[in-house]
């Protein structure tokens, strides 16, 4: 049974689960089994992951994994893209990429607070629309 989709899935864990040489592989695989049925992600994350995994000749693997585990892939509407632009301008000094911005847009729209990411620096800095911090998994 699938529970609520209350965790945002970022690119890092998706790639780490698929790449046994990734330094986050072990931690992400352990958490994947606990969290996958609660995750959702965005098309921007899928694009970024397929690009990174594609360097090894396996570009379709991230999408195949998401389909196999039934993790929803969210698309942004025009207002979401406009919100993403504002976020990327606000966090330009980090810098924030489009995949991260798309996750925050979804977090704001669905009032989500937890993100499964390896980008601790970014997601410990970013703030949701209500100005509260994200809960970042895996925990340190």
The full 3-state SS of 94-117, as one line of letters, equals CCCCHHHHHHHHHHHHHCCCEEEC
| pTM for the predicted model, two decimal places | 0.95
pLDDT on residue 2: 53
| Cα gap 134→108, rounded to integer Å | 11
The answer to whether residues 137 and 115 touch, using CB atoms and an 8 Å cutoff, is yes
Structure tokens at 23: 């330094």
List the chain residues with pLDDT less than 50.
1
| Cα gap 42→74, rounded to integer Å | 5
Each domain of the chain, given as residue ranges in start order, spans 7-137
pLDDT on residue 56: 72
- Residue count of the chain: 140
Structure tokens at 108: 């704001």
Fold of the 7-137 domain: Rossmann fold (3.40.50)
pLDDT on residue 1: 43
């Amino acid at each position: 049974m699938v529970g609520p989709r209350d965790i945002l899935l970022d690119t890092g864990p998706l790639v780490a689960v698929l790449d046994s040489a990734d330094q986050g592989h072990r931690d992400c695989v352990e958490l994947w089994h606990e969290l996958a049925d609660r995750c959702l992600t965005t098309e921007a994350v899928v694009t970024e992951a397929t690009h990174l995994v594609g360097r090894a000749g396996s570009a379709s693997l991230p999408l195949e994994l998401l389909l196999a585990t039934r993790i929803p892939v969210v698309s942004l509407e025009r207002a979401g893209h406009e919100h993403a632009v504002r976020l990327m301008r606000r966090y330009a000094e980090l810098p924030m990429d489009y995949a991260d911005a798309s996750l925050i847009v979804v977090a704001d729209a669905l009032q989500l607070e937890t993100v499964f990411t390896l980008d601790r620096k970014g997601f410990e800095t970013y703030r949701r629309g209500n100005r509260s911090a994200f809960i970042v998994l895996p925990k340190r």
